Structure 1
């Protein structure tokens, strides 16, 4: 059984770990697709903080992850086909964009499963980035007040 999930995986955190461990519990092999900076920039205002190669290296080091592959187009059918994925795991923010509908249609026609998971409320890359910016701003305000 091959489980496939995709994401940016910028600023690896406990929410990512919970997702990946859940995915691994669904089958024998966990494959993780990692979005290139170009893909991320197509739907988010900023590219990741951590370069693609380093994000892939960190994911490869996790014992629950068996395969790590980049993807440079915002589509998932080719990854599912190449990996012969049995289960495709998606997040709660999955919408009705054409690339999402295409992989849903492919999976259904191929008799494969799609599983949707809720995000871990403990943290997110966006929250981490916001906290870092707030800390930098507070430090700058303190240094200006002292000067």
Structure 2
């Protein structure tokens, strides 16, 4: 049976950290679905409008060879995502590990047989660092 993986992100100012997460996720599953966060969700959650428009970020992620399918992420409801996509594993940044929210998500998904994998973020490169550097040009 093929293992379906799922991860999400804004993927603004696409960089090596994004690529590494997608590459590592694909090593763990047979089919990787990636949710790309809409501009509206990014603005409401992070108070940041992405530099790269949503449709272009979708195209960029879709072009990555490790990605099998791209879907829009319009909200953070992981249960709704699972109902729509039926993934077997979910990949998340390790900055969420041990938080009340993710402990609960782990428990809820364990009942569905979904495994949560936490990946370390790339500390030397981030979209925030790139955004800051660009603002100084």
Q: TM-score, normalised by structure 1?
A: 0.84
Q: What are structure 1's unaligned runs of at least 5 residues? A: 137-147
| Equivalence for 2:28 | 26
The unaligned stretches of length 5 or more in structure 2 are: none
Change (3 A) 1:55 1:47: same
Greater C-alpha radius of gyration: 1
Q: How many angstroms does 1:77 deviate by?
A: 1.4
TM-superposed CA distance for 1:124, in Å, is 0.5
From 13, 22, 44, the counterpart of 1:11: 13
What residue number does 1:116 align with? 118
1:96 to 68, 83, 100: 100
Of 107-116 and 22-31, deviating more is 107-116
Q: Deviations over 1:103-130 (max 9, x none)?
A: 4343111121001111012311000001
Runs of 4+ off more than 2 Å: 100-106
Pairwise CA RMSD: 1.5
Distance, in Å, in 1 between the alignment partners of 2:106 and 2:17 is 24
Q: 1:46 aligns with which of 34, 42, 48?
A: 48
Query: What CA distance in whole angstroms lies between the structure 1 residues aligned with 2:56 and 2:119?
Result: 25
Give the Å deviation of 1:45. Answer: 2.0
Q: Distance in 1 between matches of 2:42 and 2:10?
A: 7
How many residues are matched?
Answer: 133
